[in-house]
Chains A and B, each alone.
Chain A
Amino acid sequence: MIRFRPLIMILELFDLKITREWISLILLFFSICIQAQEIDLLIKNGHVVDVKNNKDTISDVSIANGKILQVAPYISDKNAKKVIDASGLYVVPGLIDPHTHVFVGSKPNKFADGNNSLSPDDFSFKAGVTTVVDAGTSGWRNFPLFKTQVIDESKTRILAFLNIAAYGMTGDDLQHDLNEMNVAKTSEMILNYPETIVGVKIGHFEGKVWAPFDRALEVGTLTNRPLFVECHLPEYTLKEQLDLMRPGDMITHAFENISERTPVVDDEGRVLPYVLAAEKRGVLFDVGHGGAGFWFDQGIPSVEQGFWPNSFGTDLHRFSMNGGMKDMLNLMSKFLNMGMPLKEVLARGSWYPAKAIKREDLGNLSVGSIADIAVIRVKEGSFGYIDAKNNLLKGDQKLEAELTIKDGKVVWDLNGLAAKPIK
């Protein structure tokens, strides 16, 4: 009865006698209201995988006003404006790519405001991605430009880690200017855009001093946000970095094997004990595939030994888009074929990164949450996947985005699932 206290109070106000019948009647009325509410889009018969809500079953999903209205074994299409049959397909929360470079601009050969970055809409929806996180391409000095030039102009939801370097990824001496790595300014910028900036980033620092790392960590603490470590920090050892990281901080390029960093797998093919210890402590490992960031000699033994990434950051940029990376679903397919179960792959494509960036409003299909949805086909056949060393892994499964929905609107429809046939 306590649950209906407000209802009872209202009834009492009108001096109405509270009876079981009354309450039943009112509940019935409310349930009819829900039934009668118009559905903008109804996805029927798909296999819903919604890890947050522990759903892994065939369900219908209805959408109204850009939000999830209902997820249930059967929803009538009576009040639905549009019905999509997703039989044989997976219906999952819109994918979240936590590592991209999308501060695109016209500066030649630059990431920050340059043409090494890419326009997110060119790659996101066709891979089921509805949210990307820019990994520190901008810093406190140029985030406002990034915001007006790209974030506000894109259809993809763009969140960002703010670089501790003031101008972000300029690729030149500015990146190393300690005087500009300002804890107060960086924190202030983050708190000025609390909806968009999800954390702070350290990466691409080639000096020996620890000030950049310490300051980034301090910003993380001050703003209550994760630190994103892009481990191209040749003078810091991996162990030192991991030891400083707090539970919930993220480290990317988990399976990279290049000279300027320690790989996670040792010469005997074992995942390093201190890497496993860091994971156990709550440090989150992101793939960050990129052009050079994913190697089968790291990834395959890691997956076999149960050391799985928490998220599938693509590290999307000009030099990764046409290589072994291609897009986020190709990256997820790669891990599927390395032996990770589909449900685990899907969890790491949406809900886990949502939690990592403390955006639990995303990456799930809870009633009332934003209707970002990917409808995915698992193709069977003969496929191949390439790593940074141009090694090939053959596989028999591949994920393909049939339909992508952002804020309740169809933004990608590969085969016209949401379209009408011509007469």
Chain B
Amino acid sequence: MVLCFLFMLFFYGQAQDYELLLKGGHVIDTKNNIDGPMDIGISDGKVSAVARSIPRGKAAKTIDVSGMYVTPGLIDMHTHVFMGNEPDAYIADGGTSVMPDGFTFRAGVTTVVDAGSSGWRNFPLFKAQTIDKAKTRVLALLNIVGTGMKSRFEEQDVSDMNPTMTAYAIKKQYPDILVGIKAAHYWGDFTQVDLAVEAGKKAGVPVMVDFGEHRPPNSIEALFMEHLRPGDIFTHTYSNGPDDRETIVDENGKLKPFILKAQKRGIIFDMGHGGGAFTWKQAVPATEQGFKADVVSSDLHTQSMNSGMKDLSNVISKFMALGISLTDAIDRATWAPAKVINRPDLGNLSVGSEADVAVFTMREGDFGFLDVRRKRLKGDKKLETELTLRAGKVVWDLNGIATEDFKE
């Protein structure tokens, strides 16, 4: 009995405050205004301490991250991950979507938002097939079209754009997963956007608009000032296909005057890089004239994954090659999107929040960043993902910093 008591006392004396300690890193957590050296203690899958110095002895396991940047797990606000085998489908349950886990953790991403691959009719399949099976946290914007992005033709079917059913699915059925609405690829007037906004009002969520494929293009000024609400999202910000999508920078290289006004009004500009939607021709002059996309995102799918996009860490590095600071770029892939999708529990390292964490090395050297026109902008810095934690667990470890040395 006494022995048992002593043993327990000994055990308690040894008990550590944290399961995991990330020690010596430079933390960037814009929600909490942290941009400097900090240690992070993690227990039970949650951030349990953020402090200037936490002694090694307080943690069961310590990972030395000195010389590295520690950020909240990245949020990729624009992806297509409803991968499947439906023969006639392209993005909804189709082969143009990808499975998320092969792209996320190796790029420091812990949360993806699927941007309207599914609608209310096929979201249950998407959930069962992908969301429930993925290790990545998968959230989604529900397409205003009931069948989501099944084919370009079904996406034109106004009779299947149902604000009531869409809002019902978001507000009542899947409020933890569905964070907004998507309107995309519509060839007509403002009907689709207006129906999406109607659904957005009913459900109390933002609408993301991909405003391409109108010939001639519809006015984006009217979109920003008359049709969308503050907090709604315009994606493919730096796209340059003026025949069917109005650009933010005109043919003389001038940022259109209403763009900054729209941003001030609260319209959110999302990068949505993709396979065809990021050009230096738009991004360079826009940046020079004081405009930056609010959110940095990938538009991940099979047509973008091996192109200039590659992964979100590459897209952030590319944003930095435009002259944007690391802290600012990280903000636009963590706390900024968390706010846009009304998920303030994500994108930060506040004590008590789920321990989704990314650790990056800043590589220095000669790098090139490609746009969708195969034009290259050079840069001398590139983020590389050393370590990714999802709910406190190591899900990516590039160089084994969380492992033990091998002894023969």
Contacts and interface: CB of A to CB of B under 8 A. Distances in A.
Given A106-B84, A125-B306, A384 B401 contact: yes
Most buried by B among A392, A411, A420, A421: A392
Contacts of A269: 408
Contacts of A252: none
B408 A394 contact: no
A297 B378 CA distance: 43
A247 to B, nearest CB: 32
Contact of A386 (B102, B105, B376, B403): B403
B227 interface: no
Interface in B94-137: 95, 98-99, 101-103, 105-106, 129, 133
Contacts of A318: 101
Contacts of A105: 85
A415 B400 contact: no
A153 B408 CA distance: 45
B81 to A, nearest CB: 11
A391 B403 contact: yes
Interface string A369-383: 000000000000011
B165 interface: no
A40 to B, nearest CB: 15
Nearest to B132: A108
Interface stretch (A6-14, A50-58, A113-121): A113-121
A126 B367 contact: no
Most buried by B among A383, A393, A411, A413: A413
A123 interface: yes
Interface in A111-141: 115, 118-119, 121-123, 125-126
A297 B408 CA distance: 7
B403 A119 contact: no
B102 A122 contact: yes
A321 B306 contact: no
Nearest to B374: A419
Nearest to A394: B405
A31 interface: no
A278 interface: no
Contact of B377 (A109, A153, A385, A422): A422
Given A297-B408, A322-B106, A390-B404, A383 B306 contact: no
B280 A422 contact: yes
Contact of B403 (A108, A322, A383, A390): A390
A420 B305 contact: no
B375 A118 contact: no
Given A115-B133, A322-B396, A421-B378, A122 B406 contact: no
Contacts of A415: 366-369, 376
Interface in A339-390: 382-387, 390
A391 B404 contact: yes
Contacts of B95: 119, 153
Contacts of B102: 118-119, 122-123, 321-322
B310 interface: yes
B326 interface: no
A301 interface: yes
B221 interface: no
A300 interface: yes
Interface in A272-303: 296-297, 300-301
Contacts of B375: 419-422
Contacts of B389: none
Interface string B66-105: 0000000000000000011100000001010011011101
Contacts of A106: 84-85, 93, 129
Interface string A218-255: 00000000000000000000000000000000000000
Contact of A419 (B302, B366, B370, B405): B370
A149 interface: yes
Contacts of B404: 390-392
B403 A392 contact: yes
B298 to A, nearest CB: 13
B63 interface: no
A321 B103 CA distance: 10
Nearest to A108: B133
Contacts of B310: 126, 414
A126 B95 CA distance: 19
A416 B369 contact: yes
A153 B397 CA distance: 31
Nearest to B366: A415
Contacts of B133: 108-109, 115
Interface string A90-102: 0000000000000
B376 A419 contact: yes
Contacts of B284: 422
B403 A420 contact: no
A142 B133 CA distance: 24
A296 B99 contact: no
Contact of A412 (B93, B302, B306, B400): B306
B59 to A, nearest CB: 18
B403 to A, nearest CB: 4
Interface in B333-387: 366-371, 374-378
A152 B401 CA distance: 40
Given A115-B99, A324-B400, 11 more contacts: A122-B98, A122-B305, A297-B408, A322-B106, A390-B404, A392-B406, A412-B306, A415-B366, A416-B368, A416-B374, A422-B377
7 contacts: A122-B98, A149-B85, A297-B406, A322-B395, A383-B399, A385-B400, A416-B368
Interface of B: 83-85, 93, 95, 98-99, 101-103, 105-106, 129, 133, 280-281, 284, 302, 305-306, 308, 310, 366-371, 374-378, 395-401, 403-406, 408
- Give the 9 A-B residue pairs with the shortest CB-CB distance, closest first: A416-B376, A416-B368, A384-B400, A384-B399, A415-B368, A391-B406, A392-B400, A419-B376, A392-B403
